[in-house]
Copies of this chain bind each other. A is one copy, B any other.
């Protein structure tokens, strides 16, 4: 399986010790998912822990009445802490995971990861690092939602997007942005207009250009 996409795993050869790396090569499975595909829904069982080799996965929370809220992105080389802890505690998923762009995942069978924790220090370090950084991200989310107003949250969101894509052009509709921030299209249009008047960005159809002094 691994041979189908040689090279993707290489970046881990320096992170993990050789024995672990070898085990990963023989036991795990490569998977491709395409932009927009949902990998995991709340309530679903977790059969394998994914590590993102290439691409981006969006993790979000769904409210009782179906409203969505962006929690964080999982990027290249990272994994989802929620998945680790869910499967070590043998629980079903509490979040939704969607491919933000076409992505390649390394899927590690659930039954292996726990043993690796005791056997391989580098794996333990990787897992704990992942968990730590997710706590940090979630706290950032909480700060944003609890203490910041929508205009700040919007600016943060746009900056993040721009950083992620490496471009000052953002190709999203106001509706898409509203969905990710858990609000309403009109609110986003209103705030974007305000930002345009403040000369912090330019608005086009399906596109937003961030100006230098965001």
Q: Which residues of A contact B (CB under 8 A)?
A: 61, 63-65, 67, 69, 71, 81-82, 84-86, 88-89, 91, 94-95, 114, 117-119, 121, 124-125, 128-129, 131-132, 134-136, 138-139, 141-143, 145-147, 182
Q: Decide if A61 touches B139 in the complex (CB within 8 Å).
A: yes
Q: Decide if A132 touches B67 in the complex (CB within 8 Å).
A: no
CB-CB nearest 5 A-B residue pairs: A85-B132, A63-B147, A89-B132, A88-B128, A118-B118
Chain B residue numbers with a CB within 8 Å of A182 are: 146-147
Return A189 CB to nearest CB of chain B, in Å: 21
Interface majority SS on A: helix, strand, loop or mixed?
Answer: helix
Q: Decide if B88 touches A143 in the complex (CB within 8 Å).
A: no
Offer 25 A-B interface pairs, CB within 8 angstroms, sorted by A: A61-B139, A61-B146, A65-B147, A69-B146, A81-B135, A85-B135, A88-B125, A88-B132, A89-B129, A89-B132, A91-B132, A95-B139, A114-B124, A117-B118, A118-B118, A118-B119, A118-B121, A118-B124, A134-B135, A135-B138, A138-B138, A138-B142, A141-B142, A142-B142, A145-B145
Q: Decide if A89 touches B128 in the complex (CB within 8 Å).
A: yes
